[in-house]
Every structure is written in C-alpha cells, then in structure tokens.
Chains A and B, each alone.
Chain A
Amino acid sequence: MNFMLIAVIVLGAIGLVAALVLFAASKKFAVDEDPRIAQVNEVLPGANCGGCGFAGCGGMADALVKGADAGSIEGLNCPVGGADVMSKVADLLGMAIANGEPKVAVVRCNGTCEHRPKVAEYAGLRTCAAMHACGAGETACGFGCLGCGDCMEACQFDAIRINPETGIAEVDEEKCVACGACVKACPRNIIELRKKGPKGRRVYVSCVNKDKGAVSMKACKVSCIGCSKCERECPFGAITVGNNCSYIDPEKCRLCRKCEKVCPTHAIVAVNFPIKKEEAAV
C-alpha cells in the first residue's frame, strides 16, 4: 500500500512540475504573431491547394494581412472559397475587393476514340508525361489528349477524370475551382482556364493541333484545320488563327455561336446552351 501511495505522489509531482515548465515556456517563448493572420486563416477554406499561388492557406493569410497593411489586397484571390470567402476576408481586414470572374478548366481536345483512330499501341509506363516523351502517342495527332490521367492525379478536388468511353479528360464543372493544377500537369498544354461564362455558357475551339489541315484531318475527324472561316465570321474580332489552329479570346467572345455554325469540322464547341430542335440533329 505504501509503495502505491509513494508512486502516485511521485508521478503526480512530476506531472505538476512538467505542467509548470510547459506553461512558463509557452509564455516566455511565445511568438508574437499578428492576431489577424489567425483570424483570416480561420475564414479561408483550409484546403492548402495552392490555387492562390501560395504554399498553403497560412501563406495566403500572411500575404493578405501584409497586403491590407500595404493598402490593397488586389490580385489575391482564393479560387476555392471564391467571392464568398474573399468578401468575408475583405470585411475582416476592412478592405474593398475587386471581384474576379469565376473560371473553369477547359480541356481543348475532342479527339475521342471515335474521332481519332489509334495507329500504334503504347506498352510502357501509363503516364501522360512518359507517353509524351515517347512520341505522338497512340494516334497520329501529336498535340491531342493522351488519356493517361496526369491531370486526374494532380487534381485535389476530384474535378477532372478520364472518361473511359471517350478516352479523353473531362471536367466536372461543379467541383472545379480553377486552381490550375491540371493546367500545369498536362504535358501538351491542352487545358486552359477560361471564364465560366453567364449560366456557365462558353464557346471555345476544342483543338490545339498545329499541323496543316490535311494532316490533322487524317489524324482526327474533328480537328481544327486552320481554314479561318470562323475568324472571318466572328462579328466581334474574338477569333485569331495562327499555326493552323484557331483560338477564341474569352474576353471578347459574346457567345453568339456564329463561328460554331460555320466550322466545317465541328471543332468549335459550345457548352451549357439550351438545345434547340434544329441543333439536336448536329
């Protein structure tokens, strides 16, 4: 009995001493941090995705507070939290914030298994980076989506996946926060961050093939052949054709869809528009 009492007292005393030491240390060695950084960090989503350009939410909070002290938090945006979170942060810091347009990742390739036949078989490590280093891939188009999923690996929000039926990447617009990880991961620069558009509507050229028209048509039925019909048709000067490939400037595009109608290879894609009777046949 004696021994047990002694053991309890000794251990209790050790615990008490340890607690006092820790308390003293936490006071003496406390780091003076601006309390606002912790407050801003609370408001931020905490995903540490890097979409803002900083390593984690902590880094972003630090930058925001520094920016607020310097007079402006212009240019700092959390794509995950969006306008909601940014306005909360602005209130907290007593700043005004310019609202950025919501963006979404767009895969500019429509070379599905149906449109783009295979000419060889790739039997190596199944990553886009490896296949890209090996050559054009399994098809005759050296610019198109390889379908091995490096973008899928990079996405932390499960917003992009390779569709097993089409063989190319597809973005889930609900989940995409336009952090840009997939853009960096794609070895062929096929993915672009474009404006989401009113009601999610946008028009873009779903091809980045820079080969001459005859060559790219042989490789893929829906490739852009650089014929420039779209460029001539656009009433707003939003389209430029260079290197045998067309590009629609999202800032200038007014979603009139005239270009889509004249494109001979159906390389121009319009998403989230209501389907009219006569278009259903296309």
Chain B
Amino acid sequence: MKLIVSLSPHAHGNDTVERNMYGVIIALLPALLVSFYFFGLGSVIVCLTSVAACVFLEWAINKYILKNERNTILDGSAALTGLLLGMNLPSNLPIWIILIGALFAIGVAKMTFGGLGNNIFNPALVGRCALLVAFPAQMTSWPLPGQWLKYTDAETGATPLALMQEAIKNGNMEVLSQLPDAFSLLFADFSLNGGAGTIGEVCDLALIAGLVFMLWRKIITWHIPVSIIGTVFVLSGLLHLANPVYADPTVVILSGGLMLGAIFMATDYVTSPMTPKGQLIYGICIGLLTVIIRNWGAYPEGMSFAILIMNAFTPLINNYVKPKRFGEVPAKN
C-alpha cells in the first residue's frame, strides 16, 4: 500500500489512438459494404489483400528492421491505411500489384519516415499514385458494377470522370449526356453504365454517412471536407456557367474520388494542418488543384495528386498559421 506521485493532471479523458483509428474504419464500413455489393468478389479480394499486406508489412518492418520492442500494428493505423489503399484501387487489380502498393504505402511512405506520426505524405495515396505511375494500364481499367463473381476477368467501362475529360478535350457535349445524374451518383443506382470507378468511389451517400459518424464522434472536424467540396463546387460551377462543356457542379462533386478523398484521405491527422484556419487554407488549395488537374491535366482524376501536393505544404502552413492567442484581441466592452 503506497502513495503514487506524478505531476498534474491526474485524470485523463476517454480518448485513445485506437478509438480514433477504429472509428474511421467503422465510418468506412457503409461505403465498403455498398462497394462489395457493387463489385462483388473482386472488391472483397482487393480490400482484404490490401489490409492484410499493410498490417503484415508494418509488423515485419517493426520487428526485423526497426527492432522495436512494442509492435504498433494493434493501434489500427496500418489496418486503416490498408483499407483506404484498397478503396482507392479498381476491383480487378491482381494481387501482386496490390502487394507492391502496400509496400509503397507502409514501407516507403510511413515507416521510412519514422512510423506513425512522422510521415509527410498520406501513405495510402502514395501507394495509389505509385501504382498509377508504375502500372497505368491496370490501374485505369475500371470493372463495371454488377459482376459479382468476376475478379481480374471483369468487363471494364468508362468512369464519369473519363467521360468528363473526353467532353472537355474534344468539345464533345453529347458524351456528357451519358453521365449519370447527381441522384444516381448519390444513391449508387445499380444499373448505370457510367458508374464504374475505384472500389470506394461509388456510393457517395454511404461516404457522407461516414462523415456524419466521424463528426459525431469528434474524430474529425468539418473544416477540411467542407472547404474541399465547397471550393470544387464553386469553381466547377463558375466553369460550367462559362462553358457548358464543363459538367454540372453537382455531378462533379459527386463523381470520382472527391468524396472519398475529401472525407477520408485529406482528413488524415498526420498529414493535415493543426489549426482550423490552416485546415481551411489546405482544403481550399486542394479543391483548386483538383479542379485544375481534372480539367486541364493529363489524368482524369486529380484528387490524389492534389492532396499529396498539399501534404508537402502542411509543415509550411503549420509554421505560419497560428491559432488565435488568448488576449491577442484588444479589450472590447
């Protein structure tokens, strides 16, 4: 029976790293389940492989290369990276390519920088972009929804973003009529032809449900998702009004990886700014870059690159954007 001492505080709230990481995974579940329904066997294999590969790689690197006493795989961050990586891939991607992606995500983007908390770039996005650059053909063939038992042999089709890019490049407005409308994108109408995409892109409503869950549990704040989506909406709206070859802004914000990126990828703790003002600046710049890359860049999808570019600016934003200090405001009556 002895007395314990330490410096104050002597109480702690309930928050833990695990609660936050597993909370994000729970927020992703609705979208994941819809995607399994959409893309069947392929999506299950891709997601499970990705999660397993990421967790295994983190365990192995921790144990054999870094020789840490405590293995960090249980805090949920490796599993989360694996899940997000999987949801950024098309569901017909062969397993060996997924493994290379996991190696880039965990090995290069996370562990070489020092593990959780020290990476500059979002690991899942580094994995995805590395694969996009290394295996462009496989990474841009999108299986059509509804083929439940097919994996690498699934039939492929165009994504809404590919259609938009074609419209802009060739001035071809008829292509835009093939686009699913906003309602279908939101509720993932099963039969649409243009509804192909990566595993996580297809059901925006499920993604928004995940956002609401995370806001309720105070895992993230509204600043990043709202600033990204708002910026893209406003800019696309202006472009659409100027020239109808640019698609309707409501369709633009609901298509491609924008929702997935704005809600789950850009809000990654480690790579986003630490102050609300900084987060708004970060979000607006991501929105701007996404619109630029989507409309005038070579790739149809600009979200991943936009986020990675802004990840590089996060330390700069953290340095110069400080929270409002108490007492900075002159006395007011």
Bound Cα distance A168, B186 (Å):
66
Stretch at the interface among A123-131, A159-167, A274-282: A123-131
Q: Does A273 contact B (CB under 8 A)?
A: no
Q: Does B7 contact A (CB under 8 A)?
A: yes
A130, closest chain B residue (CB): B7
In the complex, what's the smallest C-beta–C-beta distance from A142 to chain B, in angstroms?
13
Instruction: Give the bracket for the number of chain B residues in contact with chain A.
Output: under 10
The answer on a CB contact under 8 Å between B7 and A123 is no
Query: Chain A 92-131 against B: per-residue CB contact (8 Å), 1 yes, 0 no?
Result: 0000000000000000000000000001111111000010
Q: Does B11 contact A (CB under 8 A)?
A: no
The answer on a CB contact under 8 Å between B3 and A122 is no
In the complex, what's the smallest C-beta–C-beta distance from A138 to chain B, in angstroms?
8
Residues of A within 8 Å of B6, CB to CB, are: 122-125, 134
Count, A-B residue pairs, CB within 8 A: 28
In the complex, what's the smallest C-beta–C-beta distance from B6 to chain A, in angstroms?
3
Query: Chain A 184-219 against B: per-residue CB contact (8 Å), 1 yes, 0 no?
Result: 000000000000000000000000000000000000
The answer on a CB contact under 8 Å between B7 and A133 is yes
In the complex, what's the smallest C-beta–C-beta distance from B104 to chain A, in angstroms?
33
Bound Cα distance A134, B5 (Å):
8
Q: Does A235 contact B (CB under 8 A)?
A: no
Bound Cα distance A225, B2 (Å):
27
> Which residues 1-46 of B sit at the A interface, judged by CB distance below 8 A?
2-7
Bound Cα distance A125, B5 (Å):
11
In the complex, what's the smallest C-beta–C-beta distance from B40 to chain A, in angstroms?
51
Residues of B within 8 Å of A15, CB to CB, are: none
The answer on a CB contact under 8 Å between A124 and B3 is no
The answer on a CB contact under 8 Å between B3 and A125 is no
Bound Cα distance A119, B3 (Å):
8
Q: Does A135 contact B (CB under 8 A)?
A: yes
In the complex, what's the smallest C-beta–C-beta distance from B37 to chain A, in angstroms?
50
Residues of A within 8 Å of B5, CB to CB, are: 120-124, 134-135, 138
Taking A120-B5, A121-B5, A125-B7 as given, write out 15 further A-B residue pairs in contact, using a Cβ cutoff of 8 Å, ordered by the A residue number. Answer: A119-B2, A120-B2, A120-B4, A121-B2, A121-B4, A122-B5, A123-B6, A124-B7, A125-B6, A130-B7, A133-B7, A134-B6, A134-B7, A135-B5, A138-B5
Task: Write 19 A-B pairs (CB below 8 A) sorted by A numbering.
Answer: A119-B2, A119-B3, A120-B2, A120-B4, A120-B5, A121-B3, A121-B5, A122-B5, A123-B4, A123-B5, A123-B6, A124-B7, A125-B6, A125-B7, A130-B7, A134-B5, A134-B7, A135-B5, A138-B5
Show the binding face of B for A, using Cβ within 8 Å: 2-7
